[in-house]
Each structure stands twice: as C-alpha cells, then as structure tokens.
Amino acid sequence: MIVMSVVTALVLLALVTQAGIVAVQRAFPPQGGMVEVDGATLHVVDIGPRAAEPGPRDAGLPIVMLHGASSNLEAMRRPLGDLLAKSHRVILVDRPGHGWSTRARRQDSTPQIQARMIDEALHKLGIERAIFVVHSWSGALGARIALDHPSRVAGLVMLAPVTHPWRGGVGRYNEIIATPVIGPLLAYTITLPLGYFVAEAGARNVFLPQTMPDGFVQDSATPLLLRPREFIANAYDLVTLKEAVAAQAPRYGEIKAPVTIIAGEPDKTVRTSIHARPFAATVPNAKLIVLPDLGHMVQNAVPDLVKTEIETMIGKIAPAQAAAD
C-alpha cells in the first residue's frame, strides 16, 4: 500500500513537472539565434548598435558575455548587457545545457569543453577577437578560453570569478542530482514544483549584502533552471568544477591577455580570498578591484563601474592593435 502511494505520488509529480516545463518554456522563449557546435546547439543573442546592419560588422572589439551557474544569458543582459549595447556589439551566450542551449554529453560540463564549444560558435559567427565578460562559474571558463584559445581573447573582465579549488563541496542536493538514476528521478518529479517555492529566497541570498532588484527572478528567466534537463546540467557543472579548476590553475601564468577582476570582500558565494586575489597575483597582466561592500552579483550592483573598466580596457587595446596592424 505504501509502495503504491509513493509510485502514485511520483507519477503525479512527474505530470506536474511536464506541465510546468511547457508553461516555463512558453513564458521564457528563446530570444536569439541558434549555432550548431560539436553535436550541440548554443543559443546566442547578438545586440548592439550595428546588430541589424548588413555587411561587415562593428570594426571595434565585440563583447562576449558568459553567465555563471544556476542562470542563463538574461542574467548578463540586464542591466549590464543592455547598457553596453548602447555603444558596443554585445554577444550573450547561454552556456551549454543552460537556457536554450543544449549539450551533447554529460562531460560537456567542464570549462575545457565549454571553451571549445564557445570558440567554435564565435568562429561561425565571424568573431575573431573579443572582450570576454564572465561571471562566477564562468570565471573558470573565461580563464580556460584565454589559455586554450588565446587568439580569440583580446581582453578578459571577470566578475566575482571562480578560479581555484576550495574547501568543501557544492551542496548536497547538487551532488545527489548528479548521481545516476536517483538524480534524474528527483529532477523529473520534485525539483520544478519545489523550486517555485525556493527560487526567490535563493536568489535573494546570492545578492547579499545588496538587495535583489524587484522582478529579478522573472526578468532573468530564472525559472528555466527548474526544467529537469537544465537542473541536471547545472548540477554536473558544479560537481565537476573543483577538479577542473585544480587542473588548470597551475597554467594561469600563461595568460597573456589583459585581465580586470572586480569582486567584493563580503561575497560569500565565491570567496575573493580564495579566487580573485590569487588569480590576480598569478596572471601577468591583471588588475584587481576589490570593493568592501560588494556582493556576488557584480553586474547588477555596479554596472557603470564594469562598463567603465571594459571601455578602459578597449581603449588601451585599440592603439596597440592599430600599431600591430
């Protein structure tokens, strides 16, 4: 009797989840185009003053923005991406498995593989060099792109980046979701219904000590994360990250591109003392900005500062590029 009750409950939750997937995807449809890469598809939104013009694209350096864990490209679009797009070409990318991007294999969770996929997508888009703006999890990804595809990276701006291994794990629930059989069972039954009740509180915690903007969860399309396939992909990204950064950290001294890192001392999501500071101390051409009252969501808290630093970097790169040409 108990077994039948459990099975019935799981079936009902699975049906609720499927209905929820349909509702979420209707509420937050793709906003850009699709680029085929290595058996997967990347969702790319291309905005800026020249985005609609035919012929050669912006002669200046485009800006590629890569979001962190538990999010999608909308987390980078508002307000920072839209602010930059007033005067620059901006390419926002859903990382593999997130938003409307897919991934072909479970191992596509690592910065190394995602770097290769994004490099391929940019090549297909005709983007030879760009300024990369990366947040949180994508700190490791931006570093990996600079290491493995250096000709693609004119400069790297890192916001509260993950770069080094840390003590502890990434949350028991993520570890369970990344476990075969039991993980998908939970993801396809309870994650989406439960997630609706906890998403708002979870997002608020990430913003601390800043206050989360009103409407952020909806404006950033955060409910897309609750879909089973994306929730599982996100869990794999998190549980494989520590080993990945441990492997690539010894190479950071090889990064030649200019790097600007902006982080906050009170950030409890990604500790500046573990990541930003040692990274800045290792990379030859790095500038570190640490603000005493800044939390994890740098792009929301200080978008004007980030924009200024990006444009300062572009201003220094442009004369050097002209001289080389």
**CB–CB of 115/141 below 8 Å?**
yes
Q: Which fold has domain 41-52+59-324?
A: Rossmann fold (3.40.50)
DSSP code per residue over 90-120 = EEEEPPTTSTT---SSGGGGSHHHHHHHHHH
For residue 157, the SS3 value is strand
pTM, two decimals, is 0.94
263-297 in b/e burial notation, b at 16+ Cβ within 10 A? Answer: bbeebebbbbeebbbebbebbeebebbbbeebbbb
Tokens 């570890």 map to which residue? 175
pLDDT at 197: 86
Tokens 């220094």 map to which residue? 316
**CB–CB of 188/17 below 8 Å?**
yes
Distances (CA, A) of 175 to 156, 195, 239, 240: 31, 17, 6, 10
**CB–CB of 63/78 below 8 Å?**
no
Query: For helices 228-248 and 111-124, what crossing angle results, to 10°?
Result: 110
Other beta carbons within 10 angstroms of residue 201's beta carbon come to 9
Tokens 């012929």 map to which residue? 55
Give domain limits for the chain. 41-52+59-324
pLDDT at 145: 98
**Average pLDDT per consecutive 10 residues, the chain (325 residues; last block may be shorter):** 72 90 96 94 92 45 97 97 96 98 88 97 96 98 98 98 95 92 93 89 94 95 96 96 98 98 96 98 97 97 98 85 50
Other beta carbons within 10 angstroms of residue 254's beta carbon come to 13
